Structures are given as C-alpha cells and as structure tokens.
Amino acid sequence: MKEYGTGSCSSRILAGTTSLHTKLESKLAKFKGVEDALVFSTGFMTMAGTVSGIMGKGDVILSDEFNHASIVDGCRLSGADVRIYKHNDMGSLEEHLAGRPASANKLIVTDGVFSMRGTVANLPRIVDLAQKHNAVLMVDDAHGTGVLGKTGRGTPEHFGLDGRIDIVCGTFSKSLGTIGGFAGSSKEIISYLRLNSRPFLFTAAPPPSVVATVIACLEVIEEEPELLVKLHDNTRIVKEGLSDAGFSLEDTVTPIIPVLIGDDRITFKVAAALEDEGIMVNPVVAPAVPPGNSLIRISVMASFSTDQLVEAIRKIKLVGQRMGIV
Ligand SMILES: Cc1ncc(COP(=O)(O)O)c(C=O)c1O
C-alpha cells in the first residue's frame, strides 16, 4: 500500500493499471496455459463481461441450465440468441447446436465445477462438440481453479484438456482468497475484450493490494502442492463419514459437498441447528437451485484438521438424526 496506494481510483484503461496488474495477467496466462489474460474487478463481472464482450445480436450462445447467474446475465446483456441445454446433457447440447445455422457465431459456455452441487462439466465431450460444430468454448472455472487437476490448474487439467479450451475464466474469491476475476485466452480475444467488455472498461480497477494477494496465492498453489493433497484427503474423509452416517450425497470429485434435502424450511432449520453446534454450512434454495431441490452445501478446506472433521461429521450426523434426515 505504501508503494501503490490503497486503491486504483481509476478504470483499467485510464490510470488503474499498475505493474502489479500486468504481472498478475502474465502469471495467470502461464498458470492456465493460455496466451494472455485479463483481470476484472469481480468474478461476476468477468463472466458477464466476457460473454457480453464477445457475443452480440445475431450470434448464438449455448448455455448449461445450471450455469452461474453471472453467465446468465452476460447472455442477457449480449443480445445474442440464447439456447439453454439440459444440465451436463450432451444430447441436449448437440440438439441445440445442430439446429443452428452453420454460418452463425456460436459460443458454448459452461461452469467447470457447478457451484451449488459440485458436479463437474463433461468437458471431454463438450470439447468434441465445440470442434464438430465450429463453436467457441468458454469455461467458468471459479470452483475448479486451485482445486482440480494434479497441480490445481483446474477442470481442463483434471481431464487432460489443457490448451483445448478457447476461453478459461475464474474468480479470485474462492481458492485465491480475495476478490476479482480473470479471463484467459488467445492474444486476439483478450485484446478484443480489453476494448469491448463494458464491465471491464467502465469500473474501477481492483486495488493493488488485492492484486498482490492473488499473485502471492498463486505462488502458494505452485509451491505448496501438499495443500491440494490435503484438500482432497479432507474431502474424502467428510464424504465417507457422511455417507456412512446415511446422508444422501451427490457423487462428485470436488470439495463442494451437497446434502440434498428438498424442503426449504427444513434446509434453513438444519443450517441454523448446525450453526448452533459451531458448524458453518450454506443453506441453498431457489433460485440458486431449481425449486424443490434445496440443499445444504458443505465446503471442505485444506486447513481443517482430521480431528475437526471427525467432530463436524459427528455433529452433522446428530443434527441430521434430530431433524429426521438420516
Ligand atoms: C461459478 C461461479 N461463477 C462466477 C461467480 C462470481 O464470482 P465472484 O463472487 O467472485 O464475483 C461465482 C461466485 O459465486 C461462481 O460460483
């Protein structure tokens, strides 16, 4: 803060870009294996600004029905023809793709890891379909970055698809511990976004202290791989513990663990009862999930000790029994 000040006090293209912003963009491009990257002030603005920055009237967007609200709003902002395909349903995606004129600009957009249920997009098949139908592919890897793949580079690395995704995006508000977001792609697309994405252009740049935090956090991911191992070990302990206790869990490989409940009132009651026991979980209801599909979202961290996890599982089981869920 002494060197750069407390805030940017300007948009990125006026006086808001410091050497830290450009350093972070180069670091992110390298981390994600893309030519260039662009840093936005929030993850929401990244997705909304990337989709609406490259797509417009007359173009076609194919969007998963469970994509994050930032993508949904980006689609609306773009004015493009938006087709929603069924969640992770490749038949539905192909049907929508096949019905569009070959000459139309097409964008397929999907979360890498879906934020509420922790499911992972079927990227291998989506990459094939994008190639077959000459569509651009954008992945919002908010929850995959720093979490999936051998080195935490995200959902594409998890599937061995590094370099096969046209636009990879993410946020700094999950594994990177602060606020902001990024889009990574070819130099051509990033240059285009830099001058055409209104949520990038017309807002203040992220403060230098935030940017420096992200640089430091990326270094942690690169230099402390044991954290990633611990994260997945911890996830396994919680999943096995809850399954053994009789909870109905979705089959996922991510540290987002959804406990499906269905009823909104019971969901809020369970979250409140757990808070009383010192366990913080998220009650998730519509519109974050379809009505009638409410759930408790448990997020596992690498910093939890095994003792803490065993105690948490014991308390979750207790509350589950008291509420009649297990
Ligand atoms: C999948 C996904 N995309 C985008 C965002 C928006 O990111 P942020 O909260 O950092 O603005 C979120 C955050 O909740 C998310 O889960």
Decide: 51 and 239 in contact? Cβ < 8 Å: no
Q: How many angstroms is it from 142 CA to the middle of ligand 1?
A: 6
Closest CA to 128 of 165, 167, 176, 84: 165
What is the sign, positive or negative, of the torsion defined by CA atoms of 40, 82, 116, 141?
negative
| Active centre residues (catalytic) | 115, 143, 174
The overall average pLDDT reported for the chain is 96
Quote the pLDDT of residue 250. 79
Question: Considering the chain, what percentage of its residues have pLDDT values greater than 90?
Answer: 94
pLDDT band at residue 212 under the 50/70/90 scheme:
very high
* CB 210 near ligand 1, within 6 Å: no
Report, as an integer, the average pLDDT of 86-115.
95
* CB 44 near ligand 1, within 6 Å: yes
Protein residue whose Cα sits closest to atom 9 of ligand 1: 43
Atom of ligand 1 nearest to the CA of 173: 10
Let me know the angle formed at the C-alpha of 97 by 95 and 101, rounded to the nearest 5 degrees.
120
Mind listing the domains of the chain with CATH numbers? 12-223 (3.40.640.10), 226-322 (3.90.1150.10)
Atom of ligand 1 nearest to the CA of 174: 10
Report, as an integer, the average pLDDT of 37-60.
98
Report, as an integer, the average pLDDT of 233-242.
97
Quote the pLDDT of residue 252. 85
Quote the pLDDT of residue 319. 96
CA distances from 147 to 221, 246, 267, 299 (A): 9, 27, 27, 12
pLDDT band at residue 57 under the 50/70/90 scheme:
very high
Does the pLDDT at position 255 exceed 90?
A: yes
* CB 115 near ligand 1, within 6 Å: yes
Q: How many angstroms is it from 314 CA to the middle of ligand 1?
A: 31
Q: How many angstroms is it from 309 CA to the middle of ligand 1?
A: 26
Residue 71's CB is within 10 A of a number of other CB atoms, namely 23
Quote the pLDDT of residue 96. 96
* CB 175 near ligand 1, within 6 Å: no
* CB 197 near ligand 1, within 6 Å: no
Quote the pLDDT of residue 66. 94
Q: Which two tokens stand for residue 19?
A: 């050497």
Q: Which two tokens stand for residue 31?
A: 């981390």
34 vs 288, residue with greater confidence: 34
* CB 47 near ligand 1, within 6 Å: yes
Does the pLDDT at position 97 exceed 90?
A: yes
Does the pLDDT at position 282 exceed 90?
A: yes
The residues, ordered by sequence, that sit 6+ positions from 123 with a Cβ below 8 Å of its Cβ are 110, 112, 139, 155, 156, 159, 161, 165
Atom of ligand 1 nearest to the CA of 179: 10
Report, as an integer, the average pLDDT of 249-259.
90
Quote the pLDDT of residue 119. 94
From CA 3, how far away is CA 295, in angstroms rounded? 46
Decide: 55 and 242 in contact? Cβ < 8 Å: no
Report, as an integer, the average pLDDT of 97-110.
93
Give the pairing type, strands 294-299 and 282-284: antiparallel
Does the pLDDT at position 251 exceed 90?
A: no
Let me know the angle formed at the C-alpha of 180 by 175 and 182, rounded to the nearest 5 degrees.
85
Quote the pLDDT of residue 248. 82
Report, as an integer, the average pLDDT of 8-15.
95
Protein residue whose Cα sits closest to atom 11 of ligand 1: 43
Quote the pLDDT of residue 99. 87
If residue 308 lies in a helix (H) or strand (E), which one and from where to where?
Answer: helix 306-322
146-181 pLDDT, tens digit per residue, is 999 999 999 999 999 999 999 999 999 999 999 999
The one-letter amino acid at 83: R
DSSP type of residue 192? H
Protein residue whose Cα sits closest to atom 8 of ligand 1: 43
* CB 173 near ligand 1, within 6 Å: yes
Q: How many angstroms is it from 71 CA to the middle of ligand 1?
A: 9
Report, as an integer, the average pLDDT of 298-318.
96
